[in-house]
Amino acid sequence: MKHSKDFKQIVEDAKKKIPEISCGELYSFLNIKEIVIIDVREDDEWETGHLPHAIHVSKGVLERDIHKQNIKKEAQIVLYCSGGYRSLLAGESLQRMGYSNISSLEKGFKEWLSLKLPVSF
């Protein structure tokens, strides 16, 4: 998908505020650390498969519905989407809402799949 110059710019700005975590790094933490993994993709994307232990709160309703997940503001949260862009933008929103330990999955679910890491349905 070709993204607009404006979109690329806001993603680059978000990268300055939201740290990224690699797929390999997140995979190594799956069963070791208490990490909240949030899939911010759309419903139809979620239904095609998602990361193990992930919860689904799509980016379009994240700010409105995140409180329903009862996640502590200081919890370690990893957001992901298909390619790693929407999750960065979602991370900025959660930071503004007071969540203090946010990261984004670098290169997103596409990279996870390309590495043949486990997927849940």
| 11 domain-assigned | no
Q: Would 49 be classed as within a structural domain?
A: yes
Q: Taking a C-beta distance cutoff of 8 angstroms, is the pair 20, 104 a contact?
A: yes
DSSP string spanning 9-45? HHHHHHHTTS-EE-HHHHHHHTTTS--EEEE-S-HHH
Q: pLDDT-derived band of residue 1, with 50, 70 and 90 as boundaries?
A: confident
Q: Among positive and negative, which fits the CA dihedral 106, 115, 118, 1? A: positive
Quote the pLDDT of residue 31: 80
- Helix, strand, coil share of the chain (percent; to 5): 40, 15, 45
Classify residue 95: in a domain, yes or no: yes
Distance (Å, whole) CA 92 – CA 118: 27
In this structure, is residue 2 part of a structural domain?
A: no
pTM of the model: 0.95
Phi-psi region of 47 (alpha: psi -120 to 50; beta: other; left: phi over 0): alpha
pLDDT recorded at residue 34: 87
Q: Which structural domain, as residue segments, surrounds residue 38?
A: 17-114
Residue 41's pLDDT band, with cuts at 50, 70 and 90, is very high
| Average confidence score pLDDT of the chain | 96
> Does residue 121 lie in a domain region?
no
* Structural domains counted in the chain: 1
Report the CATH number that the domain containing residue 48 is assigned in CATH.
Answer: 3.40.250.10
Edge-to-edge strand list for the sheet holding 55-56: 20-21, 102-105, 77-80, 36-39, 55-56
Q: Is residue 35 part of a domain?
A: yes
> Is position 40 within any domain?
yes
pLDDT for 25? 96
Q: In this predicted model, what pLDDT tens digit does every residue of 46-95 receive, in sequence order? A: 999 999 999 999 999 999 999 999 999 999 999 999 999 999 999 999 99
